[in-house]
């Protein structure tokens, strides 16, 4: 198995997460991708700083130029943020033939045209899944999966901090300053949350998606970007009474040969799925001329989700560098290899019976369930409705399906039970 | 630009759609992928049959073996369905070194182990995005985007026909036979919908996703597969009164080294996003150890969505065959190339003002809007609430943002208006 050398610029939340998760899931990633990944150097402003993720001190350096001195480094992961050093590093890496993986939305939104022109010239790919919506594979979907579609529109909840604040205003009735303070306290907002709440973080992401969908870079100064600081508790209240939820929405729409791009607080009908995207979650709705409506939902920030996207890009870089498609993604990674027999799967159940309308019926049924060690969480004996003579509905606590099935057979054999019992699953996703 | 020869086996809804859309979006796909695609032969049971998509009669043949006689055919697209000829064709194509793109879920679920072992042996990729959930890029996401994650669970609404029937039972109060008849009439169910409603279509898809996530093929006979034919109007009613929606749910979960796979009607809490997936739509929720909760939503069947996935796979095949990553997905495809100035974007708006509580105020404001040719769709003058002295909320018909902005400036200048007006967007996604 070949190993690909990586230079990691930036060791904050995401950079340290990439390092940690490449280590933790080394075998899994190797088996799935056919390649190993070795971080050969880490750039950090203060290499001596105490961190929650350990890496050998010999890997650290404070000069990004050091990444380019090591010919074994084939991929540069740019996670330092900002648009100055990050730009210089990206350009230098491309010129030296390194593949670049970046999560830097501001850099791409402001200087994407230059960066990708240079990348094309040098035939070096730049991957940037982590730059938009953290762990949601929206870049890959737009670029690869929907390659045969004309994109009609993209609407996205693209900033988790703003969405958390708006959600708390809506659900807990907080006013804007209270919700912002809570977000800062819980670590969902930076100490300086300016770019999150003024809409520009979302705007950078919208500009990147628009570029991918429409092939040109929208000038950031030409678009409307409105943050959430004018959203008051009163607006949340009025919007709701009119049937809407207020979200910070990035909107991209093709209209008569021009592309409309903007970010603003937006009233969304409560019935639309984007209205239900709450807390720090992000979501992107894409309409394509062939595929119709699609929606992608997930965590838009944080160590795990964002390093998921960086690692996905690293594996794509490996494919470009000549990795085989290996086992085509089918990999047991030593953890699994057998399925659980259906009868041994434990779950909650819904059981509907038709019964005689006589005293003692429930006692008999509950008795059989009790003998099998199966608990009842609730019983509903609704009014008879058309087609069901005397219905009895039981919600059943967790039990192995096989035991449940056998017990239902015994219940069916009771004289007071008519016809075939109906047994479905209950899934609470807990 | 190089052209990749394709052999297309099957010219039904999906096959004809692939042919049609490769033609229709030829330039777009070429610009984005860097490659052209030419269908060199089409296999159809009755080559002379009248069809709604035209293809030159010289392309048609009834023997799948003919695809393998043409050395220019580098990719075989298998859309004939069934597991007999489709298996023979797939195996022969792999042995001859052709890349296979397939949408055949039954084939993979039943014989995936053999097919992918052969594919590994011959180092020939088999792509199958179209086999699971039509236009939702779930295969690519599981295989590539989440390559660094241990998958904890996958829950999916995987069969549009079943979901349409359950949705109509829930929304329109239809009984099962009525809803099924309606689905057949509208073309959402086949004349023989057995595999859809007995759960096996969903089970095939669950087996494929489980294989991708856990690296082995679950034996179809070992899992529980329960269809929707026992779901009655009464169950829909009782479930709802208990706070649940009934969905045909494919469930895959890793649990103590074993993988639980099954398909059954399942009660889902009304607040969970899967409970809101209605009609013919599909959705898949994935939980990964790094990425957390993700959800993918879209059309699971039909010509456009499914050919989207086949075309995506064809472009991926082109990359394997040596296509450059071209313009990295950035492509203007001659349609767009400029953005719409913010002031010219037309949309609906929400306007909140603080006003003097005097007669004639609304008339003045409405007058200014009327002069600008901007219509009001509703006016709410709510009770005063904390922080907003005398609020006036207007929902505004579609208007250009620039005109709206200027008019709001004029409204702000009115003596009866206090403080800064609040102007947000309204998006109805129509």
Question: Domain holding B161: CATH number?
Answer: 3.30.360.10
Measured between CA atoms, the residue of chain B closest to residue A262 is B342
Strands of A71-198 (E only): list them: 73-78, 99-102, 126-127, 151-157
Are A309 and A292 part of one and the same domain? no
Residues in chain B within 8 Å Cβ distance of A261? 339-340
Are A162 and A271 part of one and the same domain? yes
Nearest alpha carbon to residue A47 among A38, A55, A39: A55
Task: Write the Ramachandran bin of B429: left for phi over 0, alpha for psi from -120 to 50, otherwise beta.
Answer: left
What mean pLDDT is predicted for residues B228-232? 94
Task: Return the pLDDT at A231.
Answer: 95
Task: Return the pLDDT at B336.
Answer: 65
- Count of the separate structural domains present in chain A: 3
In a domain, B85, yes or no: yes
What mean pLDDT is predicted for residues B257-285? 93
Which CATH number goes with the domain that contains B104? 3.40.50.720
List phi, psi (to 5°) of B269.
-55, 135
Question: Residue A387 above 90 pLDDT?
Answer: no
Question: Residue A325 above 60 pLDDT?
Answer: no
Are B45 and B181 part of one and the same domain? no
Residues in chain B within 8 Å Cβ distance of A125? 325, 328
How many angstroms separate the CA atoms of B7 and B344, rounded?
A: 47
Are B314 and B359 part of one and the same domain? no
How many angstroms separate the CA atoms of B350 and B342, rounded?
A: 17
pLDDT in tens, A357-367: 888 999 999 99
Which CATH number goes with the domain that contains A349? 3.30.70.260
Task: Return the pLDDT at A327.
Answer: 45
Q: Is A358 helix (H, G, I), strand (E, B) or coil?
A: coil
Q: Which region among A178-187, A283-292, B194-203, B322-331 has the lowest average model confidence (pLDDT)? A: B322-331
Are A162 and A106 part of one and the same domain? no
In a domain, A94, yes or no: yes
Please tell me which of the candidates B244, B296, B332 has its beta carbon nearest to residue A215. B332
Please tell me which of the candidates B33, B148, B254 has its beta carbon nearest to residue A29. B148
How many angstroms separate the CA atoms of A346 and B224, rounded?
A: 12
Task: Return the pLDDT at B257.
Answer: 86
3-state helix, strand, coil in chain A (%, to 5): 40, 25, 35
Task: Count the neighbouring beta carbons within 10 Å of the beta carbon of residue B240.
Answer: 14
Are B190 and B229 part of one and the same domain? yes
Residues in chain B within 8 Å Cβ distance of A251? 425, 427
pLDDT range class, residue A411, cuts 50, 70, 90 = very high
In a domain, B177, yes or no: yes
Are B125 and B157 part of one and the same domain? no
Cβ pair A350:B267 closer than 8 A:
yes
Question: Residue A196 above 90 pLDDT?
Answer: yes
Measured between CA atoms, the residue of chain A closest to residue B235 is A352
Measured at the CA of A248, the angle between CA A275 and CA A294, to 5 degrees, comes to 50
In a domain, B335, yes or no: no
Give the list of residues 6+ apart from residue A121 with CB closer than 8 angstroms, or none: none
Cβ pair A149:B25 closer than 8 A:
yes
In a domain, A162, yes or no: yes
Model confidence, pTM: 0.93
Please tell me which of the candidates B175, B288, B427 has its beta carbon nearest to residue A308. B288
CA distance A292 to chain B (A): 7
Task: Return the pLDDT at B326.
Answer: 44
In a domain, B114, yes or no: yes
CA distance B296 to chain A (A): 5
Question: Residue A344 above 80 pLDDT?
Answer: yes
CA distance A168 to chain B (A): 17
* CB A263, CB A202: distance < 8 Å: yes
Query: In residues, how long is chain A?
Result: 430
How many angstroms separate the CA atoms of A242 and A244, rounded?
A: 6
Pairing of the two strands A60-61 and A36-43: parallel
How many angstroms separate the CA atoms of B384 and B130, rounded?
A: 55
Alpha-carbon dihedral angle through residues A187, A190, A193, A197, given to the nearest 10 degrees: -40
Question: CB-hemisphere CA count at 13 Å for A28?
Answer: 21
Please tell me which of the candidates B145, B268, B350 has its beta carbon nearest to residue A239. B350
How many angstroms separate the CA atoms of A403 and B83, rounded?
A: 35
A205 is known as an active-site residue: yes
CB-based burial, B204-226: b 16+ in 10 Å, e otherwise = bbbbbbbbbbbbbbbebeebbbb
> How does the average pLDDT of chain B come out, rounded?
92
CA distance A165 to chain B (A): 17
Question: Residue A139 above 90 pLDDT?
Answer: yes
CA distance B213 to chain A (A): 7
Are A124 and A190 part of one and the same domain? no
Cβ pair A395:B242 closer than 8 A:
yes
Catalytic pick from A49, A84, A105, A205? A205
**What is the C-alpha radius of gyration for chain A, rounded to an integer number of angstroms?**
27
Q: What percent of chain A has pLDDT over 70?
A: 95
How many angstroms separate the CA atoms of B100 and B317, rounded?
A: 9
Are B371 and B395 part of one and the same domain? yes
Q: Is A174 helix (H, G, I), strand (E, B) or coil?
A: coil
**What is the C-alpha radius of gyration for chain B, rounded to an integer number of angstroms?**
27
List phi, psi (to 5°) of A194.
-50, -55
How many angstroms separate the CA atoms of A69 and A96, rounded?
A: 10
Residues in chain B within 8 Å Cβ distance of A324? 123
Alpha-carbon dihedral angle through residues B111, A144, A318, B143, given to the nearest 10 degrees: -40
In a domain, A84, yes or no: yes
* CA–CA distances in Å: residue A225 to residues A167, A206, A211, A266, B131: 20, 11, 17, 12, 40
What does A406-427 look like in DSSP terms, one character per residue?
HHHHHHHTSTTEEEEEEEEEE-
Are A209 and A147 part of one and the same domain? yes
Residues in chain A within 8 Å Cβ distance of B332? 214-216
Task: Write the Ramachandran bin of A34: left for phi over 0, alpha for psi from -120 to 50, otherwise beta.
Answer: left
Residue with tokens 């194509």: B93
What mean pLDDT is predicted for residues A70-84? 96
> How does the average pLDDT of chain A come out, rounded?
92
Cβ pair A338:B120 closer than 8 A:
no
Please tell me which of the candidates A288, A350, A388 has its beta carbon nearest to residue B308. A288
Nearest alpha carbon to residue B270 among A427, A393, A377, A394: A427
Measured between CA atoms, the residue of chain A closest to residue B313 is A145
What mean pLDDT is predicted for residues A327-338? 61
Cβ pair B350:A136 closer than 8 A:
no
According to DSSP, residue A342 is labeled G
Are A311 and A353 part of one and the same domain? no
Question: Residue A326 above 50 pLDDT?
Answer: no
Residues in chain A within 8 Å Cβ distance of B335? 150, 214, 254, 257
* CB A340, CB B255: distance < 8 Å: yes
Q: Is A99 helix (H, G, I), strand (E, B) or coil?
A: strand
Catalytic pick from B84, B105, B205, B418? B205
Which element (helix H / strand E) includes A400?
A: strand A391-400
Residue with tokens 């040719």: B373
SS3 assignment for chain B: CEEEEEEEECCCHHHHHHHHHHHHCHHHHHHHHCEEEEEEEEECCCCCCCCCCCCCHHHEECCCCHHHHCCCEEEEEECCCCCCHHHHHHHHHHHCCCEEEECCHHHHHHHHHHHHHHHHHHCCCEECHHHCCCCCCHHHHHHHHCCCCCEEEEEEECCHHHHHHHHHHHHHCCCHHHHHHHHHHCCCCCCCCHHHHCCHHHHHHHHHHHHHHHCCCCCHHHCEECCCCCCCHHHHHHHHHCCEEEEEEEEEEEECCEEEEEEEEEEEECCCHHHHCCCCEEEEEEEECCCEEEEEEEECCCHHHHHHHHHHHHHHHHHHCCCCCCCCCCCCCCCCCCECCHHHCEEEEEEEEEECCCCCHHHHHHHHHHHCCCCEEEEECCCCECCECCEEEEEEEEEEHHHHHHHHHHHHCCCCEEEEEEEEEECCCC
End-to-end C-alpha distance for chain B, whole angstroms:
39
Task: Return the pLDDT at A263.
Answer: 96
* CB A198, CB A142: distance < 8 Å: no
Q: In a mutagenesis test of the A interface, which of B145, B293, B406 is the best target, namely the one with the most A β-carbons within 10 Å?
A: B145
In a domain, B336, yes or no: no
Task: Return the pLDDT at B252.
Answer: 95
Task: Return the pLDDT at B330.
Answer: 63
pLDDT range class, residue A46, cuts 50, 70, 90 = confident
Nearest alpha carbon to residue A277 among B295, B322, B421, B174: B295
CA distance A412 to chain B (A): 15
Please tell me which of the candidates A289, A290, A304 has its beta carbon nearest to residue B292. A304
Residues in chain B within 8 Å Cβ distance of A395? 242
What mean pLDDT is predicted for residues A64-85? 96
Residues in chain B within 8 Å Cβ distance of A22? 148
Task: Return the pLDDT at B232.
Answer: 93
Task: Return the pLDDT at B387.
Answer: 55
What does A229-295 look like in DSSP terms, one character per residue?
TT--HHHHHHHHHTTEEEEEEEEEEEETTEEEEEEEEEEEETTSGGGG--TTEEEEEEEETTTEEEE
* CB B245, CB B170: distance < 8 Å: yes
What mean pLDDT is predicted for residues B184-199? 89
pLDDT range class, residue B327, cuts 50, 70, 90 = very low
List phi, psi (to 5°) of B404.
-60, -45
Question: Residue A310 above 90 pLDDT?
Answer: yes
How many angstroms separate the CA atoms of B29 and B424, rounded?
A: 37
Q: How is residue A11 written in tokens?
A: 């060791």
Cβ pair B320:A315 closer than 8 A:
no
pLDDT in tens, B276-320: 899 999 999 999 999 999 999 999 999 999 999 999 999 999 988
Cβ pair B341:A222 closer than 8 A:
yes
Q: How many helices (H) and strands (E) does chain A have?
A: 14, 16
CA distance B301 to chain A (A): 10
Q: Which region among A189-193, B57-61, B391-395 has the lowest average model confidence (pLDDT)? A: A189-193
Q: Which domain holds residue B250?
A: 138-299
Are B100 and B242 part of one and the same domain? no
Higher pLDDT, B256 or B164: B164
Residues in chain B within 8 Å Cβ distance of A231? 422, 424
Cβ pair A295:B298 closer than 8 A:
yes
pLDDT in tens, B360-402: 999 999 999 999 999 999 998 876 665 557 899 999 999 999 9
């Amino acid at each position: 198995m070949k190993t690909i050398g990586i230079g990691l610029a930036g060791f904050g939340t995401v950079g340290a997460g990439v390092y940690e998760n490449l280590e933790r899931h080394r075998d899994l990633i190797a088996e799935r991708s056919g390649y190993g990944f070795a971080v050969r150097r880490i750039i950090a402003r203060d290499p001596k700083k105490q961190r929650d993720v350990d890496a050998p001190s010999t890997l650290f350096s404070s000069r990004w130029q050091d990444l380019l001195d090591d010919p074994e480094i084939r991929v540069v992961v740019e996670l330092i943020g900002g648009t100055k050093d990050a730009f210089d590093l990206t350009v230098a890496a491309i010129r030296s033939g390194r593949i670049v993986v970046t999560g830097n939305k501001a850099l791409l939104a402001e200087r994407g045209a230059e960066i990708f022109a240079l990348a094309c010239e040098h035939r070096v790919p730049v991957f940037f899944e982590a730059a938009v919506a953290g762990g949601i594979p929206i870049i890959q979907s737009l670029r690869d999966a929907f390659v045969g579609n004309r994109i009609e529109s993209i609407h996205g909840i693209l900033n988790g901090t703003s969405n958390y604040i708006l959600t708390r205003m809506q659900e807990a009735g907080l006013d804007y300053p209270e919700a912002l303070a809570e977000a800062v306290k819980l670590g969902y907002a930076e100490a300086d949350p300016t770019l999150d709440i003024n809409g520009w973080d979302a705007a950078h992401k919208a500009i990147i998606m628009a570029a991918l969908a429409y092939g040109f870079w929208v000038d950031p100064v030409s678009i409307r970007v409105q943050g959430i600081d004018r959203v008051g508790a009163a607006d949340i209240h009025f919007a709701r009474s009119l049937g809407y939820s207020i979200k910070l929405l990035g909107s991209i729409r093709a209209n008569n040969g021009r592309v409309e791009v903007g970010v603003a607080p937006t009233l969304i009908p409560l019935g639309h799925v984007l209205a239900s995207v709450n807390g720090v979650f992000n979501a992107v709705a894409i309409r394509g001329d062939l595929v119709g409506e699609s929606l992608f939902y997930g965590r838009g920030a944080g160590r795990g989700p964002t390093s998921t996207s960086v690692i996905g890009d690293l594996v794509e870089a490996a494919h470009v560098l000549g990795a085989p498609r290996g086992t085509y993604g089918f990999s047991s990674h030593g953890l699994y290899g057998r399925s659980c027999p259906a009868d041994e799967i434990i779950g909650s159940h819904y059981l509907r019976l038709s019964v005689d309308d006589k005293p003692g019926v429930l006692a008999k049924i509950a008795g059989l369930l009790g003998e099998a060690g199966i608990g009842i969480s609730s019983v509903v004996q609704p009014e008879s409705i058309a087609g069901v003579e005397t219905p009895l509905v039981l919600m059943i606590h967790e039990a192995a399906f096989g035991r449940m099935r056998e017990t239902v057979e015994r219940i069916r054999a009771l004289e007071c039970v008519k016809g075939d019992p109906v047994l479905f699953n209950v899934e609470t996703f807990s």
